[in-house]
Amino acid sequence: MKHLEKKFFERPALEAAPDLLGKILVRKTDKGIISGRIVETEAYVGEEDLACHARCGKTERNKVMYGPAGHIYIYLIYGMYYNFNIVTAKEHVPEAVLIRALEPIGGIELAKKNLKKFGRVRADKDFMKGPGKLCAALDLDKSFYDTDITSSDKIWVEDVGEKPEIETAKRIGIDYADIYRDKPWRFTIKDNQFVSK
DNA sequence: ACATGGATTCGCT
DNA sequence: GCGAATCCATGTT
């Protein structure tokens, strides 16, 4: 097992997003370790991509996307859920990969406890399915904004050498994005039950 | 200062 | 399938 290095993220999101499928996301808390296999990602590709938060240029909220690859872009959406992204490409190029779903591997009881603490979300078998629940289960919040995932000891990605069969689909929840809403920039592991709808 | 709306999820119809 | 919950960045008074 090796941790993904900065080099992995220093390329276009459209290449890094499908490559992250089958990798293991590991979250180390003071109460224990939670891990899961990445089964669903989406690519957000720069200012031209109308679904990307960088579509209106650099702002206080999205500035980390303009920074170095491998840093975490996490933000609150709809007042109650966090979304977890990893910045890709190079500095000044605002691209990122959204992690949408994990297949639980380790620390499942701890993850369910985190969800329960979060309150609004049920801790059922789909507890890492969907970006909001995923962040709640992993106890991720704004304090991880701009964390370097390639050097942090609290969260990292491991390469287990798996090459899953990949499917592409349209992205979710971006109906406003005009022609970009139909781009096949969502990547999933084929036939995996933990992929969200 | 205030109004607006979003890369979501749940629960009810 | 639709509305509510609910925060904060952003754009407009």
Per residue in A72-90, pLDDT (tens digit) is 999 999 999 999 999 999 9
Buried b (16+ CB within 10 A) or exposed e, A119-131: eebebeeebbbbb
Instruction: Show the CA angle centred on residue A182, arms to residues A177 and A186, nearest 5°.
Output: 100
| Sign of the CA dihedral with A144 first, then A150, A151, and A152 last | positive
pLDDT confidence tier of residue A121, bands split at 50, 70 and 90 = confident
Residues A101-125 have a mean pLDDT of 88
Q: How far is the CA of A86 from the C1' of C11 (A)?
A: 28
A161 sits within 7 Å of strand B by its CB: no
Parallel, antiparallel, or unpaired for β A81-87 and A95-106? Answer: antiparallel
Judge if the beta carbon of A52 is closer than 7 A to nucleic acid strand B.
yes
Mean pLDDT of the region A14-30: 97
Q: Is there contact between A196 and strand B, defined as CB under 7 Å from any strand atom?
A: yes
In this prediction, what percent of chain A has a pLDDT beyond 90? 88
- The pLDDT tens digits of the residues spanning A96-105 come to 999 999 999 9
Q: Is A150 helix (H, G, I), strand (E, B) or coil?
A: coil
Q: Which of A30, A193, A42 is nearest to A104 (CA)?
A: A193
Domains of chain A: 2-189 (3.10.300.10)
Q: What percent of chain A has pLDDT over 70?
A: 99
Chain B footprint positions (protein CB, under 7 Å): 6-11
Average pLDDT over residues A140-160: 96
* The pLDDT of residue A124: 75
Assess whether pLDDT exceeds 70 at residue A1.
no
A60 touches strand C (CB under 7 A): yes
Q: How many helices (H) and strands (E) does chain A have?
A: 4, 9
Do residues A187 and A59 make contact, with C-beta atoms less than 8 angstroms apart? no
Asked whether residue A56, judged by its CB, lies under 7 Å from any atom of the DNA or RNA strand C, the reply is: yes
Question: Looking at the whole model, is its pTM more than 0.85?
Answer: yes
